[in-house]
Amino acid sequence: MTDAPDRTPEHILVGVAWPYASGPRHLGHAAGAYVPPDIFARYHRMAGNKVLMVSGSDMHGTPITVAADKRGMTARELAEENHANIADSFRRLGLNYDNYTTTLTPTHYRVTQDFFTTLLEKGYLFEATQTAMYDPQAKRFLPDRYVEGTCPHCGYEDARGDQCDNCGRTLDPIDLLTPRSKITGATPETRETSHFFLDLPQFQEPLAAWVDEASVNWRPAVTGFVRGWLNEGLRARAITRDLDWGVPIPLEGYDDKRIYVWFDAVIGYLSASIEWAEKRGEPDAWKAWWSLDGQGNPPGRAYYFIGKDNVPFHAIIWPAMLMGYGGLALPYDVPANEFLTLDGLKLSSSRMYTARLPFLPEALELFDADALRFFLTINAPESRDTDFSWDEFQRRNNDELVATYGNAVHRLLSFLQSRYGGVVPTPGDLSEADRAMLAQIDTAFSEVAAKVEKVHLRDGLRGVMDLASHLNRYLDEAAPWKSIKTDPERAATSMWTALQAISALRVLSAPFLPFSAETLHGYLADEGSVHALPWEPRELPAGRQLPVPAPLFRKLDDDELAGLLDRLKPIVVETGEPT
RNA sequence: GCCGACGUAGCUCAGCGGCAGAGCAAGGGACUCAUAAGCCCUUGGCCGGAGGUUCGAUUCCUCCCGUCGGCACCA
């Protein structure tokens, strides 16, 4: 067992996509954006780095106002209700944020308005008039996708104003034949309205230069997407809307307009960091992750974990905003995941799912968080869309998590109880096989670390499972249940060696499976929390009395799974998104 | 239509210039500490299609097909 090399702790900012508070999040969101950063952050904390993991609920925007209208609530009431539920799901999933907040806090409003004012003063914002669709009955402006009509290209009658679902063409709502509002059905009018625009073309050259350098280790899909936009040439983008729900514009005479969601949501990474510092009474503490030094170098690495739908905001717009504001660190990596599909179909936040319901509140009620985290990580959509099905979930749970890892732990700890009274035996001379097993532990620590550092989390978890497999093979070969009758010292040495592997698995699995790792930590009669341990092998000393263990994971049999899923009632989630 | 990523064993996915890989499923075997779990062996692939570059291509290039995503007021 080697000591971890001493090194200077790095400051790692872990930004997590801001869930939209329009309704519950589903397993696809968890797989894409929420579980991965938690694993990454937990690993870096154990590796001795200074981690700041921030996110919050994105409370503004049109869909929330639409959903609130339908439910007879205010937008604030609806957003706060959904935020509470999302935060509860995240807690049950074991997501360990340093600060999980919302975009409704005074700090967020202040920081957003400061960003707006600074960019305006520096000449990166301008005001211009545009034509927009207006619903005279609802008395509100309509985003493009809230207008529907007949597609001018293919004649499809239910085309949305932004895109035709039938022929796939990008549309302008003004071109729709017989347009109608998706909210009221009324015929929309066109109206002139004035808005502020972020002048992205000013950042074209600096962004291109930054991407050339920064993207060396980015995922191909992310780099490809960003280069695509840059090659087309960036266009200015409106950052305000005719709404009464959002961060107010910090200028006189704009009471009927608000800063729009996507602009203030990304600023949330900064405002949540500042809020974290304020809460702990060290108002400047956030700067250790954000402020560039005199030479313009970042203080550490900033990672933004998102789904692929969010790439333009995190790899183009937010970097441009940070450049414009000045003095703040740009992203180091934007490890965007692809999507999780359900039985081969794209998941939607608003669609109704009956007996297959994959929303987080229901999933967490029926299954252990670690079982869900295991599936979502071992089959994570890191380089392409991956599929979720309850059959596959059951299979991965039973044949991999339970059979390989859970069983390795349970067979050993049970045998220790029955034949050694639960006391860790004293080893004799180590055999070559014993030494190979111990060497495998060291290898696992370095390999899993290397994978996680590269944000290859599924490979990282695979590495943990590989060690469990090694342990199973080692045990079968050492067969202490045989040698205990013929050579007790040999059996004791095998037991001690195997227990060291269990002790390692408890540490190695902690970022991925935080609940079962803590349980196992208890079964090893260790002190404190497994999550406070350093990322290195931890010796389980001979002579320690261990408690009677229970299996770490539940096996899901067919009848039980079917019964659980049958209990789910169809649930309609009103998110305010146009369908 | 244009741009991008992806297409590898029955399934879920690695590999990305030098004899095609893993897990699961399927078939066989030895064992019994364990949630009938684990271990060993075997079966199984024109690496989407067609050209090209190369001594050599699953890997690099071109075209085609398919899936997904983007095309800027969805976030």
Give chain B positions with protein CB within 7 A. Answer: 1, 3-7, 11-15, 23-25, 31-35, 37-40, 67-75
Chain mean pLDDT for chain A: 88
> Could you report the per-residue pLDDT of A532-575, keeping only the tens digit for each?
999 999 999 999 999 999 999 988 887 777 777 776 655 556 66
Q: Is A4 exposed, middle or buried, given 0-12, 13-18 or 19+ CB atoms closer than 10 A?
A: middle
* CA A560-A561-A562 angle, 5° bins: 95
Q: How confident is the model at residue A26 (pLDDT cuts 50, 70, 90)?
A: confident
Distance A550 CA to B69 C1' (A): 45
> Is the CB of residue A166 less than 8 Å from the CB of residue A154?
yes
* Residue lying closest to nucleotide B68, CA to C1': A385
Q: How many residues does chain A have?
A: 579
User: Is residue A87 predicted with pLDDT exceeding 70?
Assistant: yes
Antiparallel, parallel or unpaired: β A125-135 and A189-198: antiparallel
Q: How far is CA A148 from the centre of its chain?
A: 33
- Measured in angstroms, what separates residue A324's CA from nucleotide B66's C1'? 42
Pick out the nucleotide with least CA–C1' distance to A266: B75
Region A228-250: mean pLDDT is 89
Which residue from A241, A243, A242, A247 is spatially nearest to A106, judged by alpha carbons? A247
Query: Mean pLDDT over residues A449-457, rounded?
Result: 87
- Counting DSSP H helices and E strands in chain A, the numbers are 21, 17
A244's tokens? 């009464």
Give the pairing type, strands A300-305 and A11-16. Answer: parallel
Region at A528 (left for phi over 0; alpha for psi -120 to 50; beta for the rest): left
From the CA of A432 to the C1' of B27: give the distance in Å. Answer: 34
- How far is Cα A92 from Cα A15, in angstroms, rounded to an integer? 20
Q: Which residue has the higher pLDDT, A184 or A169?
A: A184
Complex ipTM > 0.95:
no
- For chain A, the first-to-last Cα distance in angstroms comes to 57
User: In terms of Cα–Cα distance, which of A95, A92, A126 is closest to A33?
Assistant: A95
Domains, chain A, in order of start with CATH, read 11-124+199-360 (3.40.50.620), 127-195 (2.170.220.10), 390-555 (1.10.730.10)
**How far does the CA of A423 sit from the C1' of B48, in Å?**
58
In this predicted model, what pLDDT tens digit does every residue of A41-58 receive, in sequence order? 999 999 999 999 999 999
List the A374 CA – B46 C1' distance (angstroms).
Answer: 36
Q: Measure, in angstroms, how far nucleotide B5 C1' is from residue A210 CA.
A: 22
pLDDT for the residue numbered A353: 44
User: Long-range contact list for A395-404, CB < 8 A, 24+ apart?
Assistant: A397/A371, A397/A553, A397/A555, A397/A556, A398/A555, A398/A556, A400/A374, A400/A465, A401/A370, A401/A371, A401/A374, A401/A553, A402/A551, A402/A553, A402/A554, A402/A555, A404/A465, A404/A468, A404/A469, A404/A472
For tokens 């700041």, name the residue.
A52
A30 band by pLDDT with thresholds 50, 70 and 90: confident
Nearest nt by C1' to A412 Cα: B33
